[in-house]
Amino acid sequence: MLNITTFLDANSKRLDKDVLYNPRTGEKYTSGEILSIVSEIGRQLKSKYVHEGDRVIIYLNNSCEYLFSLFAIWRIGAIAIPTNRVFTHSELDYIIRDSQAKLVITDEKATDSIDIPTYIPSNIEEYKDCEVLEAFNTDWDDLCQLQYTSGTTGKPKGAMLTHGNYFTAIHNECDVLTLKQDDVFLGIYPMAHVGLSWAIAALRAAAYYILIEEFNLDEYLELCDKEKVTVLTGMPPVIHSLTTMNRTKELSTVREIISGGGPLHRKIWKEFHETYQIPIINAYGLSESIVIGTGTVIRPEDYREADRFESVGHPVCFSEVKIVDEIDPTKTMDKYEQGEIALRGPAIAKGYWRREKQTIETFLDDGWFLTGDIGYLDEDNRLFITDRKKDMIVMSGWKIYPTEVEEVLIKYPKLKEIAIFSINDIHRGELPVAAVVWKDKPDHEGLIKFARENLSRYKVPREIYDLDELPRVNGWKLLRRELREKFKIRN
């Protein structure tokens, strides 16, 4: 048996300390209280005829309820599908249909727009002393989550993650961060993403995890100081903001900070290190590998050799990495030769839900997973990322897929053609922008209004560039790279 939630059973028997805190609401929970709450939510899901293998969508804001719902779904052997509360109705509806979900866990504001049964977690405080529900007897390869992630084809696809995948990821994250019971961990990552695994790792180690519902820099710094935070989550825009100020007092107890969600520019990394002398855990992984469940990382002990501030480090425990030819993945590249990054290890997903062709193309028979990212290995086997094979845009950790956005915006009646691509931004990493060919007169205001009505706000283009025609190869293949070069902005 391997049901991930059973770590709560173990911790509840040996510890009686707060492990979860939401400063916005004042809620605090011990491992035993979390186990009781998860058990009661699990029972209520079963009363709504959710069974082993059923897919259940979580459509909530960042909250303790989100985390409890995830655990409850796993506890009863069902499959969780985390989604972001900023998703539009059409975005959510696509995932409901593609996953063949049985139920959506949400709030009262969303229930009217959802066409399948819903469940609202409420009166959570009353569940702290409920009877413990026995964990369903799941195995290593049993699915526990569909993590929807898009590709250049535009439509999101569900990476099939198992209890064994999560077991590996949690082990590696505890290991990389050397998490202990007396650590204070401040988390900012959205719970709709596998970045949530850092929170689960903190709870596994019985550290004190502080949950931020919505990021605010002043609150972030205040909590660091007040709660004596030792492990801090960040992302490139946050780390960049910290380099523009000296807040060594607030960060005086921090022993490490995680950078995730996108490339960290060498200049920012170096400036942060020189100002604060706090090691950055610069990690590389994907949804399909549960962040660094199978991936690479720079650890604090690497800093004596990481003075270039560019690498994402060495493989974590159980992980392998190699560089393969972009056209022929059976060919392994030599040191310093660029190619596609391939990962192999026990946290790699089983494939894509109901996507046999894409699974075969990406998850190879010998266990290697083709990431779609371009990079190289140096003489010490450190990984460096240089480009993307895919056209995905990463803005402040948000992943934006151009084809998906284009398929929505091309419906605007005044458009003839549109191409979504990225421009550089030192604060957010990248910004989504649009190159547009109009049928008649330009209408920037109308297009942006249409985008805001039909897309999550982070996917809305920040700039619109008018063109007579889009650059293409032989009149058909779009050259996004040429657009990026033409309109690039370097800050």
Same structural domain, 406 and 376? no
Same structural domain, 378 and 449? no
CA distance 463 to 435: 9
Angle at 151 between CA 147 and CA 154, to 5 degrees: 105
- Contact predicate 114/107, CB 8 Å: no
Question: pLDDT (tens digit, 9 = 90+) per residue, 87-133?
Answer: 999 999 999 999 999 999 999 999 888 999 999 999 999 999 999 99
Same structural domain, 185 and 77? yes
Residue 20, H or E segment: strand 18-22
pLDDT tens string for the chain (491 positions)?
799 999 999 999 999 999 999 999 999 999 999 999 999 999 999 999 999 999 999 999 999 999 999 999 999 999 999 999 989 999 999 999 999 999 999 999 998 889 999 999 999 999 999 999 999 999 999 999 999 986 444 688 999 999 999 999 999 999 999 999 999 999 999 899 888 899 999 999 999 999 999 999 999 999 999 999 999 999 888 998 999 999 999 999 999 999 977 778 888 899 999 999 999 999 999 999 999 999 999 998 888 766 668 899 999 999 999 999 988 999 999 999 989 999 999 999 999 999 999 999 999 999 999 999 989 999 999 999 887 777 878 888 887 878 789 889 999 999 988 999 999 888 888 999 999 999 999 999 999 999 999 999 999 999 999 999 999 865 556 788 889 888 875 44
Out of 326, 354, 383, pick the residue that ends a domain. 383
What's the whole-model pTM score?
A: 0.87
Q: Please give the DSSP secondary-structure letter assigned to residue 333.
A: P
Same structural domain, 342 and 201? yes
- Contact predicate 239/272, CB 8 Å: yes
CA distance 101 to 15: 36
Instruction: Kindly state the tokens that stand for 469.
Output: 């025609």
Residue 19 phi, psi dihedral angles, 5° rounding: -125, -10
CA distance 369 to 351: 9
Strands, E, within 180-222: which ranges?
Answer: 184-187, 208-211
Report the SS3 class of residue 5: coil
Same structural domain, 205 and 315? yes
β-pairing verdict for 184-187 and 231-234: parallel
Residue 61 CB coordination number (10 Å): 16
Starting at the earlier edge strand, list the strands of the sheet with 118-119.
118-119, 103-105, 55-60, 79-84, 143-149, 157-162
Out of 326, 356, 383, pick the residue that ends a domain. 383
Angstrom CA distances, 484 to 44, 263, 295, 472, stand at 50, 17, 28, 13
> Residue by residue, what is the 3-state secondary structure of 457-491?
HHHCCCCEEECCCCCEECCCEECHHHHHHHHCCCC
Domain count, the chain: 2
Residue 403: which domain range?
393-487
- Contact predicate 133/85, CB 8 Å: no
Starting at the earlier edge strand, list the strands of the sheet with 320-324.
320-324, 339-344, 369-377, 383-388
Same structural domain, 333 and 407? no
Out of 361, 383, 405, pick the residue that ends a domain. 383
